[in-house]
């Protein structure tokens, strides 16, 4: 008798064979067959409290490992809950796959249970989105999704899995199983001639600047840029935040941009974070070199820059950087490199000494100067900076090279599930997530997930009882007497952690912060250190 396999069995076995056994998920009607099929495999299903958390955890996992994080959610409202989180992963070029259950194909257009145009909904916030239509080939759909997530410019991919495709059975000898080659694609590198052309153009510039893509915002990427800077003698920077030249991580970035006469875009799309390459943010005669995984982005860059685009080519970000290092010859101007480095490292003069002027509240700088001692002690620590003004102080002060931020998308709220995903990827080193009190409210229930799954981390919440980024925008744009809808309560968020089975600390004095963090780490539990802080804007470099 011929053995048969359900579509659900094919999906889980495909993932298992390819080594993608960590699954971030939340159960629901449309994917119960996947949960059932997973019992017979080595898949580890880590189930959460909200579908968006599956995506944030997969995002974090993908950033740290370079392997695509896999998220499963049910169809309809479950898919809708998850899709918004894809925008963060798309902006940060994170490899991940969202697999959503879906209404049965024979009910489409008939008002089927939780019927929704899922593919159309996911398409704007993913590299690719489609629906599986054949049980025998659903494994090939899974392989394709993983391949696309990691090919070219990495990013999230969506695959909808209709219930009837998962429930249907086909003879095992009719299953089209993907091979190892179906999960990957050869990287697009730079050949020596192209690399030499780019290097020759760079040598015609007096003050060139290499701007790296968000995909480089990890330990391997930062190491690659450091090596590229050393080999070429050209300053490098990662453009990964939504605040453009006001990114607190990058000091006087705006001053460097205004002086550069050539920008090399290493996988970085010319977008709002670079003011589209326009004057006065860049000199009117500044030239551009665009090395990008997507030809469409080259065309867009040409539209912005016109004849200032000195050269453009299609190549993947990491191989392109490696080729330039390999072919590097004469170095650039050491004085320009030193000037740019000093500018990027510049910080407000009092950032190392400023203290609170308010009783029972800390200045944000006091919080992060204290946290920095823990990061120095454990260089492999993972740091997640999430939110507006408070987290910007963290980005200005902390030097961690395993750091994740909310990114180009400018979204907030994902840090607690991201901390859980980081703990899966990094089982031993400390994981810290820093956020404001507004941000904490998005996914506080995921503390229960972390407790249940034994995923210890330390969340440091800066409580100023305000949506502070929005407050400061209102003050700036409309005046101090026209702020509205920004106030929050002085909530004891540390008690939320203890109520959900974790560890909580309340800190109101600077001298109490380090011992509180020590106790949180020693607890071995997901922890919240609730720090009462002054409500002040993000740090600004004085020019």
Local confidence band at 542 (pLDDT 50, 70, 90 cut-offs):
very low
Looking at the fold, whether 162 and 261 belong to one and the same domain comes out as: no
pLDDT at 522 over 50: yes
Rounded-to-integer distance, Cα 227 and Cα 212, Å: 13
pLDDT at 247 over 50: yes
Percent of the chain with pLDDT over 70: 99
Q: Which domain holds residue 242?
A: 192-345
Residue 238: inside a domain: yes
Residue 287: inside a domain: yes
Last residue of some domain: 183, 205, 226?
183
Last residue of some domain: 121, 152, 183?
183
Looking at the fold, whether 167 and 243 belong to one and the same domain comes out as: no
Rounded-to-integer distance, Cα 195 and Cα 323, Å: 6
8 A C-beta contact, residue 455 and residue 490: no
pLDDT in tens, 48-62: 999 999 999 999 999
Nearest to 4 by CA among 177, 175, 179: 175
8 A C-beta contact, residue 446 and residue 416: yes
pLDDT at 30 over 50: yes
Residue for token pair 């920004």? 486
Looking at the fold, whether 173 and 197 belong to one and the same domain comes out as: no
Residue 520: inside a domain: yes
Residue 426: inside a domain: yes
Local confidence band at 1 (pLDDT 50, 70, 90 cut-offs):
low
Nearest to 74 by CA among 62, 65, 83, 64: 83
Local confidence band at 543 (pLDDT 50, 70, 90 cut-offs):
very low
Looking at the fold, whether 12 and 133 belong to one and the same domain comes out as: yes
Q: Across all residues in the chain, what is the average pLDDT?
A: 95
- Write the burial class of residue 462 (CB in 10 Å: 0-12 exposed, 13-18 middle, 19+ buried): buried
Looking at the fold, whether 207 and 299 belong to one and the same domain comes out as: yes
206: left (phi over 0), alpha (psi -120 to 50) or beta: alpha
User: Which tokens in the block code for residue 212?
Assistant: 């790296």
Rounded-to-integer distance, Cα 307 and Cα 303, Å: 9
8 A C-beta contact, residue 301 and residue 309: yes
Last residue of some domain: 125, 153, 183?
183
User: Which tokens in the block code for residue 111?
Assistant: 């008002």
Looking at the fold, whether 382 and 290 belong to one and the same domain comes out as: no
The pLDDT value recorded for residue 410 is: 86
The pLDDT value recorded for residue 143 is: 98
CATH code, 296 = 3.40.50.1220
Mean pLDDT over 312-332 rounds to 96
Residue 351: inside a domain: no
The pLDDT value recorded for residue 55 is: 98
Residue 537: inside a domain: no
Contacts of 43 (CB under 8 A, 6+ apart): 12, 15, 16, 21, 22, 23
Looking at the fold, whether 171 and 124 belong to one and the same domain comes out as: yes
3-state helix, strand, coil in the chain (%, to 5): 45, 20, 35
Residue 357: inside a domain: no
Residue 353: inside a domain: no
Long-range contacts: 184-188, Cβ < 8 Å, 24+?
Answer: 184/147, 184/150, 184/151, 185/147, 185/150, 185/151, 187/316, 187/318, 187/319, 188/152, 188/293, 188/314, 188/315, 188/316, 188/319
Domain count, the chain: 3
Rounded-to-integer distance, Cα 140 and Cα 250, Å: 43
The model's pTM is 0.96
Q: Identify the residue with better confidence: 542 or 121.
A: 121
Nearest to 440 by CA among 374, 390, 394, 395: 390
8 A C-beta contact, residue 512 and residue 369: no
Looking at the fold, whether 387 and 459 belong to one and the same domain comes out as: yes
CATH code, 132 = 3.40.50.970
Looking at the fold, whether 411 and 273 belong to one and the same domain comes out as: no
Looking at the fold, whether 427 and 374 belong to one and the same domain comes out as: yes
Mean pLDDT over 451-477 rounds to 93
Mean pLDDT over 103-124 rounds to 89
The pLDDT value recorded for residue 238 is: 94
Local confidence band at 259 (pLDDT 50, 70, 90 cut-offs):
very high
Mean pLDDT over 37-47 rounds to 96
DSSP string, 508-540: -SGGGHHHHHHHHHHHTS-EEEEEEB---PPP-
8 A C-beta contact, residue 444 and residue 416: yes
Distance set, CA 380 to CA 251, 391, 516, 518 (Å): 24, 20, 21, 17
Pairing state of beta strands 208-212 and 262-266? parallel
Looking at the fold, whether 129 and 21 belong to one and the same domain comes out as: yes
Rounded-to-integer distance, Cα 464 and Cα 487, Å: 9
Rounded-to-integer distance, Cα 209 and Cα 226, Å: 13
């Amino acid at each position: 008798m011929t053995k048969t396999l359900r579509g659900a069995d094919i999906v889980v076995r495909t993932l298992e064979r390819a080594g993608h056994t960590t699954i971030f998920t939340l159960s629901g009607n449309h994917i119960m067959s996947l949960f059932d099929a997973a019992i017979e495999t080595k898949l580890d299903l880590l189930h959460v409290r909200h579908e968006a958390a599956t995506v944030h955890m997969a995002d974090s996992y993908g950033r740290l490992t370079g392997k695509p994080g896999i998220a499963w959610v049910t169809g309809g409202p479950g898919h809708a809950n998850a899709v918004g989180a894809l925008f963060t992963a798309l902006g940060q070029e994170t490899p991940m796959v969202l697999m959503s259950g879906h209404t049965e194909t024979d009910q489409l257009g008939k008002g089927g249970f939780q019927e929704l145009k899922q593919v159309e909904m996911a398409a704007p916030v993913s590299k690719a989105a489609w629906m599986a239509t054949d049980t025998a080939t659903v494994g090939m759909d899974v392989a394709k999704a993983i391949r696309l997530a990691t090919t070219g410019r990495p990013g999230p991919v969506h695959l909808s899995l209709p219930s009837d495709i998962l429930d249907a059975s086909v003879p095992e000898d009719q299953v089209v199983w993907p091979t190892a080659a179906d999960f990957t694609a050869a990287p697009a590198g730079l050949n020596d001639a192209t690399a030499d052309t780019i290097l020759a153009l760079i040598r015609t510039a007096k003050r060139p600047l290499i701007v790296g893509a968000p995909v480089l915002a990890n330990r391997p990427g930062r190491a690659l840029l450091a090596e590229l800077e050393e080999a070429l003698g050209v300053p490098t920077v990662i453009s990964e935040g939504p605040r453009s030249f006001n990114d607190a991580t990058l000091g006087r970035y705006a001053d460097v941009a205004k002086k550069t006469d050539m920008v090399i875009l290493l996988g970085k799309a010319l977008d709002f974070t670079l003011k589209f390459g326009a004057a006065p943010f860049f000199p009117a005669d500044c030239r551009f070199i665009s090395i990008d995984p997507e030809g469409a982005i080259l065309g867009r860059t040409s539209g912005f820059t016109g004849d200032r685009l000195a050269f453009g080519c299609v190549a993947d970000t990491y191989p392109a950087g490696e080729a330039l290092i390999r072919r590097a010859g004469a170095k650039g101007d050491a004085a320009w490199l030193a000037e740019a480095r000093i500018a990027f490292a510049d910080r407000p003069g009092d950032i190392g000494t400023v203290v609170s002027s308010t009783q029972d509240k800390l200045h944000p700088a006091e919080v992060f100067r204290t946290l920095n001692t823990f990061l120095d002690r454990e260089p492999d620590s993972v740091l997640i900076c999430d939110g507006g003004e408070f987290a910007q102080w963290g980005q200005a002060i902390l030097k961690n090279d395993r750091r994740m931020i909310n990114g180009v998308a400018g979204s907030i709220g994902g840090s607690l599930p991201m901390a859980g995903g980081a703990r899966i990827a990094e089982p031993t080193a400390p994981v810290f997530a820093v956020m404001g009190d507004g941000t904490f409210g998005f996914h506080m229930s995921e503390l229960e997930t972390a407790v249940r799954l034994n995923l210890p981390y330390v969340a440091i919440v800066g409580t100023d009882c305000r949506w502070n980024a929005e407050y400061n925008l209102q003050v700036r744009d409309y005046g101090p007497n026209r702020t509205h809808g920004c106030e929050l309560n002085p909530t004891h968020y540390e008690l939320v952690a203890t109520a959900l089975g974790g560890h909580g600390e309340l800190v109101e004095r600077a001298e109490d912060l380090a011992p509180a963090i020590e106790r949180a780490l020693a607890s071995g539990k997901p922890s919240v250190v609730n720090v009462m802080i002054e409500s002040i804007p993000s740090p600004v470099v004085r020019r």
